[in-house]
Amino acid sequence: MLRTGNRDLIRRINQNLLLNLIRTQGPISRAELSKQTRLSPATVTYITQALLERGLIHEMGAGYSSGGRRPVLLRLEPKAGFVVGVKLAADSITAAVTDLDATVLHYLEISHTLADTPTPTLRALIRTIERALKESRVDRAKVLGIGVGMGGIVNKDEGVCRFSPILHWRDVQVAAPLREHFEIPVFLDNDVNTLTLAENWFGHGKDVEHFVVITVGRGIGMGIVTNGQFYRGAMGGAGEIGHLTVQPGGAQCDCGKQGCLEALASDPAVVRSIRESIHEGRKTELSERNLDLERIIKATERGDALARRALADSGHWLGIGIANVVNLLDPALVIVGGEGVRAGDWRFGPMRAALREHAFDGFADNLQVVIEFGGNETWARGAASLVLNEIFQHPISQRADTAMTLNF
């Protein structure tokens, strides 16, 4: 005889199973749901009726029939709930309010200057989220959670930033203050992980069993999906490709070590390289004043040889770093994103060449490399996917203290 707890778990598993099928394959008929899940038609009818009454799904036009009555199709109701995704950077805070389809309903980006302590930044996070919710005009009672993505080593389960070399934070409680203020679940993760989660849900990585996302900008990071599962590592820090040593004794990195990929291939590395060349008296139209990647790209387009060389060098080192990843993980797909992608082929032509040169024999032959152009809105949408992932996660995979449901 089943215990009550077991019955409840089975009910939640079946509800989750049907809701996820409706989310990913809808519009879909009850008969097709029964066929794919092997649940009885009566069970499917009972559960879908409950989902309809709660407004989580809706019926739409009839589908094709090979004979007899045309089946009624079911689809997820995107406006049944809303989530907030936040991208925290060293100089800005970006917030996106999305529906359950991860469609961005409102987007807000503000400039922010880091203080000596995390407290002012956490207050700014709260103000930004409040403003985004107010301007979005969504029903606050339907806001299900908040996801925050940030650079560094993050303890996802505890909502703590263990170490962020960019923000200069160590052991900072990020989720707890937001949870206390908004009184809804708050989830924290490394920002590259959130972007990878978004790619897995609705991007280039959808239905791909083995892929990595590599971001280039202020830093260099990586998210990993293998065997269809997100890989975090023993301490949640898997994917710190930016701190692979590729040139022992090389340039100083923000992490305190030398020769890291990030110190050779990131946007600040390009700026530093040009600044050093200017000090050496090398010819360029660029000056040290207000030197940034945008000015370097424009100089490259006008034929500045020094700017072209600096971007090519960064791409070369990036290609070596990615080749190491390919040799280790053998992914089918590499997605390269982040602010640094706007450098285009000046950076990514040399990257592809170095990747082919240093990848193990045959590993790069069928490898798909996608350059993903997207701004901070994409990062915030990725952070929103943190919450959506928790909502639609299999009940057995959920921790008891963070489990979320759509009011089943």
**Strands in 210-340 per DSSP E:** 211-216, 220-226, 229-231, 333-337
Cis peptide before 185 (omega within 30 of 0): no
Residue 64 is encoded by which pair of tokens? 């094709």
Report which DSSP code applies to 360: P
Letter for the amino acid at 227? Answer: N
- Partner residues linked to 376 by β-bridges: none
Catalytic position from the list 189, 191, 254, 267: 191
Return d(Cα 381, Cα 194) in angstroms, integer.
8
Q: Could you give the 3-state DSSP secondary structure of residue 263?
A: helix
CA distances 226 to 211, 233, 274, Å, are 7, 12, 38
Q: Report yes or no: 298 and 344 within 8 Å, Cβ to Cβ.
A: no
Q: Report yes or no: 122 and 160 within 8 Å, Cβ to Cβ.
A: no
CA distances 15 to 47, 204, 235, Å, are 6, 28, 32
Look up 191 and say whether it is catalytic: yes
Query: Which residues have a catalytic role annotated?
Result: 191
